[in-house]
Structure 1
Amino acid sequence: MALIPAQSPAPPAPSPRPPRSTAPLKESRRLIADAYTIFASLQRIVAQYEQSAQSLFGVAGGGVPPPEQVQYYARVCRLYSDALVKQLPLIKNDSALSASAKSKSLAHHAAMHNVLALAEILYFPTDGRGEGLVAEELLDWVNTIDRAPSTEEGNELLSLASPWDSPAFFPYLTRCLIRGHLSSASALLSLLVNQHPSPYLQSLASDLVGLIETCPRSTAYRTENAFASAMRSWKSTHLLPTSRRIEAGFDGGQGSDDPVLGGPDNEDELLTYEQSFRSLLAIFSGSEDDVLEASSDWREALSAFGLWVAPTSLHRTDLPAIVSRITSSLHPVDQSLSDEVAQSRLLEGDVSGVIKSLVEGGFGWLATHLADLLSHLHLQAFDLPPPRPATASAPEDEEEELGLRDHLLIDYADRLTVDPGLWRVSCEYYASCSAGVKKGRERARELIGGLELEGPGDVDLQGEAKDVGKEAEGMDVEGSTPDGGEEKENVPASTSKRSKRVDELLLVCSALDLDDEFVDICQRYSDKVVEDQKRGEKRFGEAVAYAVRAGDGRRVARIAEMVGEEYVNKDQSAFVKAVDSLPTSLLRPASFANDDAELPSTLNSPSAFSLSHLPSHTFDSLRPILSHLSFLARYRDFMALYAVPNQRREAAELLVLLLTSGIAPRKWWPVMLLDSVPLLETSPPLITLAETFELLRILEDILAPIASSSPLSDVFGSLDLLGRLTEQGKQEKAGKKKEEDEAERLKRAVGQMEVVRGALARHLAVCSCLE
């Protein structure tokens, strides 16, 4: 595949990597966001291709990608170019920029676009092969980046009564031929044919107009062979006869017989005209020396060479030698212009030199994205350095050697970190380093670890790059965005806004397989939310959700304890509110799905925070601990059922189920037994005889260890929760807060259990009589 220009015979040894640039990026957030979206999509396209190539060709893959894959890269290259073009009107309309700043910025973006357009022609041709003629593409590129000759000059000539008398007439005409503007050249020559009084000049101009009108262009032919045949026919039937006739007229002194230019007084003028026509005819004939001499710079000379000197034979592989020949003699490259140096090195096939020139010229954005694109062609310049064996002078922990692409990605991402709102973009570039490169992921870890969990608003990458994906039908150009494409269930606006940064951090960690950072962020944020709760802002739902994502059972258990403390330290309504804030998916496991259908609609109110919109980490390992949360939900259901008079029986069944199934923690048993007293004293009975015996068993299980101790002590802490709950009620009635000692609290709790015992005994007697 003749896609990549051949190297010159003895190219200079390329630098292994460009010098590190410390200059800030000159590009706007909009361009950075657009490029990030395209870049992220390209990485996915490459990953899919590499995976399929490895399955077909083994670990080494398929080497140089096939034409259809190169066509994908060509579309990405055009998207980068379009992103640059979109910046131009934004810069022009930016009132914050001075005139000089606008001019510099426009020139900067135009220079990057010009290099990228040339790279697309050379390395990412539309057909994916690049084996055809390249002359017309180079000519279009030159005419796009440097429009010449100007339209103003042409209009000025046309406005003259006798434009051929202007010293700019033939230079302008020559420039039109060199640039391939044949219709403009024909229009100027037609002025001579139709308006000049000299029949001799009219004849010369008419012959050249005939050559222009019959000259074939490769763009008019479907195949290279058809164009070559047409060019041979044109030369044999038009160019050679016309050249011979004109040369014969020059040599035979035909001009001296002209009634206008003949005679000794007009000899100098006649010679000037003849010399101008000789130069034009030499261009038509493809004289290399005349074409190069008539060109104003090396780029124009290269395009003219392809148009007139080698129209049927100039291919991409021929360019390095031709560019070297042109720039080494008549038209050297201006070394002070980094973009021109980069263009010449692109044409020479010196990829390392291209990247070095761009970095040194302050085109870091372009250097990074162009290097990434070119690296997917498996060019030698991007081969990773071989690993160095560990020695006494070079230990294993010494900084690793980076390939050209990896070096640029890390350098670009480093400079993006100056803007805190672009941290996600930095992470994407860090993580896109080669698989064996550790430095990129280490930088991503450092960056994520140093970010605040609730920081200022970041760049809205979807909003910044909203137009990029619309221009590439059939190709995935939707970048990695923080929303993840999933709906968020029942997330209040305040909570969503507050947790946006941490959610984005977790999504990035999940996408980059940063498991340790994922867990650490979840743990830190859960702790932060707990601290907020201590200041009076109740965010139990967020706290437990992030603890679950971290797979941290200890934190989940601690938060469950805090929710229960709401009942003890405050009241039932505070407890219900706290439980309702927990994620529904944690509170109601699938085993209770059928029971939920029988509950009042008020019990199925959605939680304020859902787990569905973020990835979870080791969720299955938390199932035993999540039973604590399930108990809180079912106990909250009991309270709701008890509040409805005609559902007291359902409340009693649920209370007994919680006590006998092992779901309720032991310290809650006394509180729940005390809750059963009103249910035991109703008529008709709401609790069956068998259920009564179960409650008695549980009561004895609580009191037996206490009764057997001397002095009286709660060895297992079974009555601590009930003691504090009854103490709180006593303080509210007394209107004062006075701490009791442990013995007093235990004595009162035991007394409450005796009340339960009495109620159970009475209920047992009633049930026995009914039996």
Structure 2
Amino acid sequence: MAQEDSTHLRPSLIKHGGLQKFIDSGKTLSVTVSPRDDSIAVYATSNSHARPSSNSSAEYHPIYMAIPHLPPSGERRTFLTDTSVIFAAAQNLVRVAREESVQIPDTVDGIKAMTKLALDYVNHCKECCIYAAQETARRESLQFDADHYRKLYTCFSLFMVLYMPEGGFEDAPVGDELMDWLNTHYIEPSTEDGDRLSSLDRPWEDETFWHYLTRATLRGLSRASAFFLGVLSQHPSPNLQHLSQRLIPLLTNHPRLHQFAAERDFAVASRRWKDKVKSLRLELDRVPEEDREDGFENWWERFSDIVSILEGRGDSVKRIVSELGGDWKEVCAVWSVFVDTRIRRSDLPDLVEDLLDELPPDPTNLEDVIHSSLFLGRPTQALSQAAELDIWLAAHLVDIMESLQLIDVEPDDSEHSIRDHYILSYAEYMRSDPSLWRLTVDYMSSCSEIGKAMADQVLMHVPLRLHRPKGAHEGETEIAQIHAGQLAGVLKEVIATCFEYKREEVRRMICRIAAQTFMQEKEYGLAVSYCASAEDWPGLGRVVDRVLEDYITEGPETFARLVANMSPVLHSLRAAPGAHGVFLHRLMFAVRFAEFHQRRMMGDLQEAAFDLVAMFREDLAPRSWWAVILSDAVELLQHSQSMLFTNNDAVLFLHKLQEIDMRCAQGAQDDYLAILARTMKGAGEKQIFQRLQVIRLVLARYTARCGVIGVGGRTTQGTVY
């Protein structure tokens, strides 16, 4: 393993020379990967193939937490989130193109749209570079400095210049665009030098004067060149005065492609301009040798260098740029403006390859290496180098490259395409910050099925934060927001993301996880709702069991309050197709049983009596709860002011009680009396049967009252109810 790929544990887990002792102790190193982010835990554990030493249990070994990427923070996180919006727009553009069965490079609108998005990337790099360079930003702790974003800016903008020309200029001369790019990103000569020289009375006596004038000429800065050539009208040499005045119109009238409607007109103007430069060379060569010095500089040689540039002498351009401290990029731009004015993008690889033989790129400067690969027409190689500089750059370049068909789209031996490789690497980098899970999923989901499967795992491990913190008020929790009708926070985002990317199985799994959490928090209405959304009918049954358990352990008041939010969910479930009948039936019982107790506690005894009878008549009540329901009915049966049940109701209760007695006599006491025993808080068998006798006695008295009074409730068609 290369040294840069190694992780050094501090303090050392194994002391120097102690490896054999560590092995003999029966331990080995283990690694556990976090499901939440890309961190890992390294620790010592027992080796199943070794026999641990007798004192190994007393040894202490620390757990080391390591992470392959530094999580993005501050300006970096802002940069990632802002550019993710552009990425999403690019994916939408690609999706629409696929739906219409067209290729982006084949449509003018597609190219324009993708160029606009690429320009947005460039502008974000520029803005972040400017921000990081500001004094306020320098006072902050920046994760990446201004120079880093400047490199992203230069690389992405060069990619646009070379591979995304403006419509109609694909096969046009590229010189002007290269020079504009060079002047934008590598400003020479400096404004400070120009200001300082312009403040001098005799600037030609300054040692930087001719360097400044030559560099301004190389870069096509005709205004600056014309200004300082005008200053030479005060030079003591009449020859230089005359020649400088002759040179000014040549520089200011230098033909540039953007000034002409047709390339042919540009070529004609360039030839005529070159003829004027030749005429100036003839005049320059006629200057006597003794007049070529001014006591400070051999002005003739310096002036000759400038004329050589205008003449387009390649060897002179290379020499002059090198003497001024320039590199191959500057030679390439100057070459395409002065030496070969009709050079096209397709010609650049051959030109640059020749230039790099004499002026090779700096191998320690990734920015320069990436530039050379882009100029040489090697996008795949440029991506590999861009990933070393910043995986963000590689991921967003490769996305555009594939859209423009600049790289191979077929998967390699790893079953990943080039695009997927860099996009997934970037997504793995973002996993170092769990708060960026949404962006991580967006990028992973834009890849093949492997990427989508990785996104599924990210979604399933997003912390939902549904547990109510200790000491928190109800209004401060996400659960309270959900009760208020605002499915807010992480859960809403995760489910929305599953819908967006059609990850139905993942959505159901997350709903099951949420339902379990809500059940733990005793938010049974939400638990039922999410079980139904996940179509987890066994889970729904577990929620009902938990609700009924609360009745046993906490009593009817708490039970009724906890089940209050389940009723609306029940109505929607009964109307929805596909609900599992058995579990829905149990839910209906729990809700009806809770409504019975709620009405009883509120004093609405008649409606409570209707609920109690309905649980038997509609066969909602499980047999294990019959005894409990009959026990709860005693209070209503003994009500002295009104007859709440009909005679038939009382007979129904007696039939249920008789079945309980008969089944218990046959040995099925656990099936019929276990829950009643638990509600009676540890009562013995004797007390339980005494309770059944009480129920029987109350029912007998109620039946007798019905017979004496002759009504026992409402009378319809001569029948007593």
By the TM > 0.5 criterion, same fold? yes
Shift of 1:210: 1.5
In structure 1, the residue matched to 2:374 is 346
Change (3 A) 1:542 1:83: farther
Q: Secondary structure at the match of 1:148?
A: coil
Aligned to 1:119: 159
- Alpha-carbon separation, structure 2, partners of 1:569 and 1:590: 28
State the distance in 1 between where 2:241 and 2:189 align.
Answer: 24
**What residue is the counterpart of 1:189 in the other structure?**
229
> Residue deviations 1:122-161, cap 9 Å, x none?
2334549744443222222211221100112212221222
CA displacement at 1:121 relative to structure 2: 2.0
Say if 2:388 is the partner of 1:325.
no
Judged with a 3 Å threshold, the aligned counterparts in structure 2 of structure 1 residues 742 and 43 are, in CA distance, closer, same or farther, namely farther
Deviation at 1:759, TM superposition (A): 2.0
Structure 2 CA distance, aligned partners of 1:510 and 1:566?
Answer: 35
Mapped pair 1:72 → 2:113: yes
- Does structure 2 conserve the Cα–Cα contact (< 8 Å) formed by 1:529 and 1:539? yes
Task: Figure out how many residues of one structure are paired with residues of the other and give that number.
Answer: 635
Does residue 355 of structure 1 match 2:386?
no
1:716-766 Cα distance to aligned partner (Å, 9 max, x none): 8345444544x25xxxxxxxxxx2234541441353144235324533654
Residues 161 and 186 of structure 1: CA distance in aligned 2, closer, same or farther (over 3 Å): same
Is 2:162 the partner of 1:205? no
SS at match of 1:378: coil
Alignment deviations for residues 17-43 of structure 1 (CA, whole Å, 9 cap, x no partner): xx9999635964643564356447635
Kept after mapping to 2: 8 A contact 1:119/1:346 = yes
Q: 2:293, 2:230 → 1: CA distance?
A: 23
Aligned letter for 1:73?
M
Q: 1:298 aligns with which of 328, 333, 337?
A: 328
Q: Structure 1 residues 757 and 178, CA, compared in 2 at 3 Å: closer, same or farther?
A: farther
Structure 2, unaligned runs of 5 or more: 8-67, 469-479
Could you tell me which residue of structure 1 aligns to residue 402 of structure 2? 375
Give the stretch that moved more between structures: 23-32 or 199-208. 23-32
Instruction: Classify 1:356/1:521 alpha carbon distance in 2 versus 1 (closer, same or farther; 3 Å).
Output: same
Secondary structure of 2:701's counterpart equals: helix
- Indicate yes or no: 2:319 matched with 1:307: no
Normalising by structure 2, what TM-score?
0.75
Residue aligning to 2:19: none
Which residues of 2 match residues 178-327 of structure 1 at below 5 A? 178-193=218-233, 195-221=234-260, 223=261, 225=262, 228-230=264-266, 232-233=268-269, 235-236=271-272, 239-240=274-275, 242-243=276-277, 245-250=279-284, 253=286, 255=287, 266-269=291-294, 272-295=298-321, 296-311=326-341, 313-327=342-356
2-side partners of 1:626 and 1:750: how far apart?
Answer: 33
- Does the Cα contact within 8 Å between 2:605 and 2:644 map onto a contact in 1? no
Change (3 A) 1:150 1:167: same
- Matches of 1:407 and 1:176, distance apart in 2: 44
2:87 aligned to 2, 27, 42, which one?
Answer: 42
Structure 1 partner of 2:34: none
CA deviation after TM superposition for structure 1 residue 244, in Å: 5.1
Cα distance 1:675–1:707, how it changes in 2: closer, same or farther (>3 A)? closer
* Corresponding residue for residue 741 of structure 1: 684
Q: Residue 206 of structure 2: which of 166, 173, 177 is its match?
A: 166
CA deviations 1:169-197 (Å, max 9, x no partner) are 2221121121121111111111123x334
Match of 2:91, as an amino acid?
V
Specify whether residues 46 and 415 from structure 1 end up closer, same or farther in structure 2 by C-alpha distance, changes over 3 A only.
Answer: closer
Letter in 1 for 2:706: H
CA contact (8 A) 1:652 1:687 kept: yes
Residue 665 of structure 2: aligned partner:
711
The aligned residue for residue 579 of structure 1 is 563
Distance 1:134 1:208 in 2: 25
C-alpha separation in 2, matches of 1:96 and 1:235:
51
* Cα separation, partners in 2 of 1:761 and 1:139, compared to 1, 3 Å: farther
Report SS of the residue matched to 1:380.
Answer: coil
Q: What does residue range 654-693 of structure 1 map to in structure 2 within 5 Å?
A: 654-673=611-630, 692-693=647-648
Give 1:632's aligned residue. Answer: 590
Partners of 1:710 and 1:568 in 2: CA distance:
21
TM-superposed CA distance for 1:315, in Å, is: 3.0
1:337: Cα distance to partner? 1.3
Q: How does 1:79-94 map to 2 (within 5 A)?
A: 79-88=120-129, 91=132
Q: Measure, in 1, the Cα distance between the counterparts of 2:464 and 2:283.
A: 86
CA distance in 2, matches of 1:320, 1:107: 27
Q: How far apart, in 2, do the equivalents of 1:181 and 1:759 lie?
A: 110
**Counterpart residue identity of residue 545, structure 2:** E
What is the match of residue 548 of structure 2?
A: 564
In the superposition, relative to structure 1, how do residues 455 and 561 fare at CA in structure 2: closer, same or farther (>3 Å)? Answer: closer
- Residue from 432, 448, 451 that aligns with 1:434: 448
Instruction: With a CA cutoff of 8 Å and minimum separation of 6, indicate the structure with the bigger relative contact order.
Output: 1
Q: Is the 8 A contact 1:92 1:102 kept in 2?
A: no
Residue in structure 2 matched with residue 731 of structure 1 by the alignment: none
Deviation per CA, 1:30-64: give whole Å up to 9, x if none. 435643564476356436634653x554xxx6374
- Checking the alignment, whether the CA contact within 8 Å between 1:586 and 1:629 is kept in structure 2 is no
* Shift in CA distance, 182/322, structure 1 to aligned 2, threshold 3 Å: same
Q: Confirm or deny: 8 A CA contact 1:355 1:371 kept in the other structure.
A: yes
Change (3 A) 1:86 1:275: closer
CA RMSD of aligned residues (A): 4.3
Partner in structure 2 of residue 334 of structure 1: 362
Given candidates 650, 653, 656, the residue that maps to 1:699 is: 653
Closer/same/farther in 2, CA of residues 317 and 28 from structure 1, 3 Å limit: farther
1-side partners of 2:143 and 2:558: how far apart?
64
Separation of aligned partners in 2, 1:574 and 1:546: 22
- Relative to structure 1, the CA distance from residue 767 to residue 650 in structure 2 (aligned partners, 3 Å threshold; closer, same or farther) is farther
For 1:524-561, what per-residue CA distance to the aligned partner results, in whole angstroms no more than 9, with x for missing partners?
5555565xx5xxx6444454444444432222222212
- Residues 671 and 122 of structure 1: CA distance in aligned 2, closer, same or farther (over 3 Å): same
Tell me, in whole angstroms, the C-alpha distance in 2 between the residues paired with 1:456 and 1:624. Answer: 30
The CA distance in 1 between the partners of 2:581 and 2:484, in whole Å, is: 24
Cα distance change on mapping 1:128 and 1:432 into 2, 3 Å: farther
* Cα separation, 2, equivalents of 1:167 and 1:764: 127
Q: Corresponding residue for 2:473? A: none
Aligned 1:8-27 pairs, distance under 5 A: 24=69
CA–CA separation in structure 2 for the residues paired with 1:768 and 1:746: 31
Q: For the residues of structure 2 that align with 1:297 and 1:560, how far apart are their CA atoms? A: 76
1:10 match? none
Q: Contact (CA 8 Å) 1:540, 1:563: kept in 2 or not?
A: yes
AA aligned opposite 1:340 = D
Verify the 8 A CA contact 1:713 1:746 in the aligned structure 2: no
Give distance in 2, aligned partners of 1:410 and 1:572. 54
Mean Cα displacement is larger for which, 183-192 or 448-457? 448-457
Judging changes above 3 Å, is the alpha-carbon distance between structure 1 residues 36 and 155 closer, same or farther for their aligned structure 2 residues? closer
Change (3 A) 1:456 1:576: closer
Q: Give the SS at the match of 1:24.
A: coil
Which structure 1 segments of 5+ residues have no match? 1-18, 257-263, 388-399, 458-486, 593-617, 729-738
Q: Matches of residues 294-693 of structure 1 in structure 2 within 5 Å?
A: 294-295=320-321, 296-311=326-341, 313-329=342-358, 331-359=359-387, 361-385=388-412, 400-435=414-449, 438=450, 440-444=451-455, 489-490=482-483, 518-524=507-513, 526-527=515-516, 533=520, 538-541=522-525, 543-580=527-564, 582=565, 585-589=568-572, 620-622=578-580, 625-642=583-600, 648-673=605-630, 692-693=647-648
Partners in 2 of 1:200 and 1:121 — Cα distance?
A: 42
Q: CA 1:301–1:89 in structure 2 vs 1: closer, same or farther (change >3 Å)?
A: closer
What one-letter code is carried by the residue in structure 2 that aligns with 1:325?
D
